[in-house]
Amino acid sequence: MPELSVVIPTFNERDNVDELIARLDRALGATAWEAIFVDDDSPDDTAQALRALAQRDPRVRCLRRLRRRGLSSACIEGMLASSANYVAVMDADLQHDPTLLPQMLGALRAGRAELVIGSRYVVGGAVGDWQEKRLAISKLATRLAGLITSQPIADPMSGYFMLQRERFEELAPRLSSMGFKILLDIVATARPPLETLELPLLFGQRHAGESKLSTNVAWEFALLLADKLIGRWVPIRFLSFAFVGALGVAVHFLVLTTLLKGFGVAFLVAQAIATGTAIVYNYTLNNVLTYVDRPRRGHRWLTGLLSFAAICSIGAIANVGVASFMFERASAWPVAALAGILVGAVWNFAVSNVYTWRR
Ligand code: GDD
Ligand code: MN
């Protein structure tokens, strides 16, 4: 039975996995280990490459997830598939030096820590040839991360770490599981804090392929922070949904005034066009922001839009119904209007959450 499971999330990493396994084999020597890859249905057929690898090497396994995206959730599901004493997470692209694994394992075995991090920001560690801008952003994010961790950690954004599987199992149900920052999620969730050790990591060059870090990363990071800070009281997806909706109101008014003042369109027609635009806009943005982990694509994008529009129409009826009910019972008009908006928003969110973006 393996003592160590190495969990490796992959998205388009076909040309890296053979080399990675070869290096793991060399680095880990006599240790009983296994590799659990979690692939989000990569278009480059990484899963197929992994299966070919697994047929030659029984230590290799691939979980293939369909219609899902997300580095954190992939790592979590990989770790949950492990029965080993220790689990590690590392990138597939060889930026994380496998020769650090025996040291990490040694520290855990000796009881010197419950969590060991490959850290770029301790003495001896480094980020390699990053551009100044990326370094500055990383440093800023690290400072912000300090808001939600209960212990000082030099590199809570590292994607390379190892911990006791049992400790992970305990906290797994409370993880946010959103975004790219699985380690930060773990250290912000653990109460009491995990005994942590940081080992210096020289962050290497990507072997093949390209980085998946996109502009979404900043948004997903913000969601994770918000979830840890206020998620206990308000579901974070609802906040995101409401944020998108507020922008949608601005879009509505922009279209409405343009049509009314700029083109002299009749009010009813202008209002209808503005409403339609706002619905498409809301749907599109929610699909990439609020539901970044399970966006609808291809023909499912279109059917999703139709269901979202239908749900919002009912929401609008509820909105107007509640607002006029309150208005007739002598509420001030802004109060009545806000109550209507709130009821409509909650309806739209609750129903589209389970229907349009169902799991
Ligand atoms: N399953 C799955 N799903 N895997 C993913 C996804 C996804 O949506 N997105 C990325 N991956 C995999 C990649 O295939 C790679 O193996 C690993 O996650 C890291 O992705 P990279 O694209 O190589 O990220 P990076 O090198 O820019 O950033 C890494 O280093 C940062 C600094 O240490 C990540 O580990 C970050 O989390 C980390 O903060
Ligand atoms: Mn990388």
User: In whole angstroms, what is the distance from residue 339 CA to residue 38 CA?
Assistant: 44
Cα separation values, 221 from 74, 108, 177, 350, Å: 16, 29, 11, 24
Q: How many domains does the chain have?
A: 2
Whether residues 10 and 26 fall in one domain:
yes
Whether residues 207 and 267 fall in one domain:
no
Residue with CA closest to ligand 1 atom 26 = 211
The residues with which 34 forms a beta bridge, in sequence order, are: 5
338 part of a folded domain: yes
User: In whole angstroms, what is the distance from residue 173 CA to residue 205 CA?
Assistant: 34
Looking at the predicted structure, is the pLDDT value of residue 172 above 80? yes
User: In whole angstroms, what is the distance from residue 334 CA to residue 186 CA?
Assistant: 43
Helix or strand (DSSP H, E) at 188: helix 182-189
User: In whole angstroms, what is the distance from residue 226 CA to residue 239 CA?
Assistant: 9
What pLDDT is recorded for position 147? 93
What pLDDT is recorded for position 41? 96
Look-up of token digits 């498409």: 280
359 part of a folded domain: no
Whether residues 265 and 224 fall in one domain:
no
- For the CA of 16, the nearest atom of ligand 1: 16
What pLDDT is recorded for position 53? 97
**How many Å lie between the centroid of ligand 2 and the Cα of residue 356?**
32
User: In whole angstroms, what is the distance from residue 115 CA to residue 275 CA?
Assistant: 51
Whether residues 275 and 350 fall in one domain:
yes
Whether residues 213 and 263 fall in one domain:
no
The pLDDT-based confidence of 134 (bands split at 50, 70, 90) is confident
What pLDDT is recorded for position 213? 79
What pLDDT is recorded for position 169? 97
Residue with CA closest to ligand 1 atom 33 = 158
Looking at the predicted structure, is the pLDDT value of residue 255 above 90? yes
Cβ of 118 closer than 6 Å to ligand 1, yes or no, is: no
Amino acid, res. 274: A
Cβ of 340 closer than 6 Å to ligand 1, yes or no, is: no
DSSP string, 222-275: HHHHHHHHHTTTS-HHHHHHHHHHHHHHHHHHHHHHIIIIIH---HHHHHHHHH
Angle in degrees, 0-180, between the axes of helices 182-189 and 216-230, rounded to the nearest 10: 10
Cβ of 71 closer than 6 Å to ligand 1, yes or no, is: yes
Whether residues 140 and 200 fall in one domain:
yes
Whether residues 211 and 298 fall in one domain:
no
3-state helix, strand, coil in the chain (%, to 5): 55, 10, 35
User: In whole angstroms, what is the distance from residue 139 CA to residue 121 CA?
Assistant: 9
* Residues in CB range of 279: below 8 A, 6 or more apart: 308, 309, 312
Strand order in the sheet with 60-64: 60-64, 33-39, 4-10, 86-89, 161-164, 115-119, 196-200
pLDDT tens digits, 75-92: 999 999 999 999 999 999
Peptide bond preceding 173 in cis form (omega within 30 of 0)? no
Whether residues 194 and 286 fall in one domain:
no
Tell which of 197, 230, 263 closes a domain.
Answer: 230
Look-up of token digits 């962050």: 203
User: In whole angstroms, what is the distance from residue 330 CA to residue 308 CA?
Assistant: 33
**How many Å lie between the centroid of ligand 1 and the Cα of residue 228?**
21
Whether residues 161 and 248 fall in one domain:
no
Cβ of 212 closer than 6 Å to ligand 1, yes or no, is: yes
Cα separation values, 103 from 2, 92, 118, Å: 17, 19, 10
Q: Which ligand is nearest to the CA of 212?
A: 1
User: In whole angstroms, what is the distance from residue 139 CA to residue 141 CA?
Assistant: 5
Tell me the torsion sign for CA atoms 134, 39, 293, 310: positive
Domain containing residue 68: CATH number: 3.90.550.10
Tell which of 209, 230, 251 closes a domain.
Answer: 230
Amino acid, res. 250: A
Tell which of 202, 230, 258 closes a domain.
Answer: 230
282 part of a folded domain: yes
* Residues in CB range of 334: below 8 A, 6 or more apart: none
Q: Which ligand is nearest to the CA of 213?
A: 1
Structural contact between residues 27 and 99, judged by C-beta atoms closer than 8 angstroms: yes
* Residues in CB range of 309: below 8 A, 6 or more apart: 279, 283
Whether residues 137 and 185 fall in one domain:
yes
Distance of CA 193 to the CA centre of its chain: 22
Structural contact between residues 88 and 7, judged by C-beta atoms closer than 8 angstroms: yes
pLDDT tens digits, 178-200: 889 999 999 999 999 999 999 99
251 part of a folded domain: yes
The pLDDT-based confidence of 215 (bands split at 50, 70, 90) is confident
pLDDT tens digits, 19-61: 999 999 999 999 999 999 999 999 999 999 999 999 999 999 9
Cβ of 230 closer than 6 Å to ligand 1, yes or no, is: no
| Residues above pLDDT 90, as percent of the chain | 84
Whether residues 257 and 330 fall in one domain:
yes
Whether residues 199 and 345 fall in one domain:
no
| Domain range enclosing 219 | 4-230
User: In whole angstroms, what is the distance from residue 128 CA to residue 148 CA?
Assistant: 27
SS3 112: coil
| Mean local confidence (pLDDT), 145-153 | 93
Looking at the predicted structure, is the pLDDT value of residue 158 above 90? yes
Amino acid, res. 211: S
| Mean local confidence (pLDDT), 156-161 | 96
Residues with CB under 5 A from ligand 2 (ion): 91, 93, 95
